[in-house]
Structures are given as C-alpha cells and as structure tokens.
Amino acid sequence: MDIEVPRNGNYFKGWTLEDDAGSPIDITGWTLRLQVRAVAGAGGAAIASALISGRDDAQGFFNVRLRGADFAAVPGAMEIVKLAYDFIAFDADNIVIVETRGQIHLIPGVTI
C-alpha cells in the first residue's frame, strides 16, 4: 500500500486491522510501528516514524500520522521522492507481524 505525504502537510488516516472475514482484530497489548527509510532493507536510523494515536484496541482501530516536516532533510524538495516504509505489529506474545509495506511518495507542497 503506497502512502502520499505532502512536504507542507501531513498524512493522517484511521486504519483498522481486520481478519480474513472482515472482522476487526483485537490489538490489545500490541505494539505498532511504522518507519520510513530511503530504501527497503536499509539499516540505520529511520528517516521518519509515524505517530500512532486514537487507539480503539478492541476494534483494531488507530490513527496513523506522518508529518511532512519530518522529511525536511530528504533531498529533492521540488520533486516527487519515493521512499520505503513498513508497518510492523508486535502482538501480545511479541510475535512480529509485517502488516503492510510499500512506498512513501513524498510530494512538494504548493500552498504554504
């Protein structure tokens, strides 16, 4: 799943984790992490990490926010820059689940 982040704004969406039947997954006790790097598999510190808020664990719901300002050091301010991310959940038993991954499309701002 690709995500578009404006340099002069934010990506902010509510996400819900569902099972194969479309029912919400209870994420009580889970740790959620979404990190962005220049390329998939790159080591070192992440360029940016999402802020996870507004959790309703029983309903598998949470908000994901990536701030455009967190990408200020990424070159190409006047270009569309592609980066990589993954969203990982550590369940209550500390099993690592890669829920989704994809590209970040970092886009230049127009309105300030």
In angstroms, the Cα distances linking 87 to 1, 33, 50, 74, 92 are 10, 6, 9, 20, 16
In the prediction, which pLDDT does 60 show? 97
| Digit-coded pLDDT (tens) for 29-76 | 999 999 999 998 888 899 999 999 999 999 999 999 999 999 999 999
Give yes or no for residue 112 having a pLDDT over 80. Answer: no
Q: DSSP assignment, residue 19?
A: -
- What CATH architecture is 3-107? Sandwich (2.60)
Count of CB atoms situated within 10 Å of the CB of 93:
7
Segment 78-91 mean pLDDT? 96
- Distance (Å, rounded) from C-alpha 79 to C-alpha 56? 37
